Structures are given as structure tokens and as C-alpha cells.
Structure 1
Amino acid sequence: MTKITAPFSGQCLCGQIRYEVDSIEPNMGHCHCTMCRKFHGAAFATFGEATVENFRFTAGRDFLKDYVAANGTKRTFCSNCGSSLLFEPADSDGSVVEFTLGTLDSDIPTKPDAHIFTKFGAQWYDITDDLPQFPEGRETVANK
């Protein structure tokens, strides 16, 4: 998959926080880890990546709130409506922004390319597409 370049925009549910992303990196995935499932209230969360210079908040920075988990991962959300916006791994060097694709207002010309942390997936959800499935992160061996 190649980088997607165009101006894209997104926002939280209440519209207080808005952002723009100029270019989306190739890795776009569905995360099935327990924390993403709980944070999103769904079988998985779907993230895209952008380099920090290609992502910017255009409104509502005062509404941003962070939750730092015991494992050091950080989730950023809207303090007004609760929309999940960003994820940051504990070992992040700050050069990449992982943002929730569900908050985009713009259509994008590609789709996620993998399921990650599938060994923690909800037992009530079956993955039925042909995307590679990684038991943990992308560095583990894919099941498909």
C-alpha cells in the first residue's frame, strides 16, 4: 500500500475538536487489543497513521484530554463528547500520529490493510475478511 496524499479533515462527535491530515501513511489497521475494545466500546478500533508534520488540530485543542494506561500507551479523546481521536504507543518517538479513521469526514481512497492484536479479540466477533491477522503487533507472524 502506498501513502495517500490529499487534504483530509475530521472531527469528534460534538464537533468541538477538528483536525486536518495532509497525507496518510500506508499502515492502516484494525486493533483488537483489550484496551482498544474497551475504549471504543466495539470489537476493534481502526487507526490510520500520519507523520506529525502532516497532522494538525484546527479547532478545539482545549477539549483534548489524554488517558495514559498502566502500560504507558496514551489515548487522546474529546473531553466534551468522549470521541476517541489519537493513540500513542508507549515507545513512540513522537514522529507519527495514529488517529481514528472513524473520525474522518473525508472519504479516503484506500482501506485498512491488517488486523492486529487478534489474540485479544472479542469472542463474539469473527473476522471474515482476507486481511492479514497478527496475534500481536505487525512484527508478529500473520495468521493469513
Structure 2
Amino acid sequence: MTEYKGSCLCGAVTFTIEGKFDSFYLCYCSYCQKDSGSAHAANLFSASAVLRWDSGADEVTTFNLPGSRHSKSFCKHCGSAVPGSELPGVLMVPAGSLDTEIEITPTARIYTARQHSWVGKLSAAPQYPELPEKSE
């Protein structure tokens, strides 16, 4: 069985996912933009994988947005997104929370009608393997 390890930024929460991911969506909806503080969220979904909290399960809290199906689980110390679900019977795992490399590539980009205008210009931005010495 495939196994993935993950954690939060401060290390208080660690977890293992056993099983496979069914899909991998980059979501540009306004909720995911607010959740991530970025252009999109990158979330993996599975109807069959099992989540095991290795440490810090009691350090996880979930915010459910009233009037929607949107929710976000996160470490209450550092705020890092951790696995949760906004749909019954479906495990949602923030791709950036995994410490193990994944094989699956994004299935689709969704809610692109709501993406910021600068997203389409990202390919023109310079790339650096690390933080550059000065801003460009």
C-alpha cells in the first residue's frame, strides 16, 4: 500500500496517509485564494485513502465557512493547512502539507474564471533555485 507522510510548519502535527489519491485540483476560487493567501490552493482528494494522525491530532482545528461546504483544517499553533474534508466520505489533503513526494500530477485547474490577472503572466517571471540576493 502507498504511504505518504506529512506535517505542519511547526512540527506539532504529523500524519500518515495510506492509499492512493483520486484527483489533484488547483483551485482558483476566492475561498481557496483566501485560505492559501496565494493564487490557488493545491489539494489532493481520495475516497479510499485513510488518514492517521501520528502526533498532534488535538492541535488541529477546522474552520467551516457558514453557508457553504468550504472548510479548512489547520494547526492551531502555526496555521499550516492539514488534511480534512469539505465533502463527506472524501479526504482532502493540501499537497504542500506532504513531506513525501507524490506521483500524481494536477488533474485540472478549477474556478479559473476567478483567477487573478497576474496568474497568466507567471511564466514571464524570472526563476531562482533559492531566494535571490536582491529583489529584481
Q: Same fold (TM over 0.5)?
A: yes
Question: What are the equivalent positions in structure 2 for 1:37-116 lying under 5 Å apart?
Answer: 37-51=33-47, 54-70=50-66, 71-89=68-86, 92-93=87-88, 95-116=89-110
Structure 1 distance, partners of 2:41, 2:51, is 19
Structure with a larger share of its residues in helix: 2
Structure 2 distance, partners of 1:11, 1:77, is 11
Q: Which runs of 5+ in 2 are unaligned?
A: 124-136
Structure 1 distance, partners of 2:23, 2:12, is 27
- Assess, with a 3 A threshold, how the Cα gap between structure 1 residues 118 and 35 changes in structure 2: closer, same or farther: same
Partner of 1:136: none
Structure with a larger share of its residues in strand: 1
% same residue? 25
Tell me the CA shift for residue 80 of structure 1.
Answer: 0.3
The aligned length equals: 122
- Assess, with a 3 A threshold, how the Cα gap between structure 1 residues 30 and 98 changes in structure 2: closer, same or farther: same
Cα root mean square deviation, aligned: 2.0
Structure 1 distance, partners of 2:14, 2:51, is 11
TM (norm. structure 2) is: 0.80
Tell me the CA shift for residue 118 of structure 1.
Answer: 1.2
Tell me the CA shift for residue 78 of structure 1.
Answer: 0.6
Partner of 1:140: none
Tell me the CA shift for residue 87 of structure 1.
Answer: 4.9
Partner of 1:15: 11
Aligned AA for 2:80? S
Q: Is 1:126 aligned to residue 120 of structure 2?
A: yes
- Assess, with a 3 A threshold, how the Cα gap between structure 1 residues 38 and 104 changes in structure 2: closer, same or farther: same
What SS does structure 1 have at the residue aligned with 2:9?
A: coil
- Assess, with a 3 A threshold, how the Cα gap between structure 1 residues 80 and 114 changes in structure 2: closer, same or farther: same
Contact 2:5 2:17 in 1 (8 A): yes
Partner of 1:29: 25
- Assess, with a 3 A threshold, how the Cα gap between structure 1 residues 34 and 87 changes in structure 2: closer, same or farther: farther
Structure 1 distance, partners of 2:61, 2:18, is 23
Structure 2 distance, partners of 1:12, 1:82, is 8
Tell me the CA shift for residue 53 of structure 1.
Answer: 5.3
Aligned AA for 1:117? Y
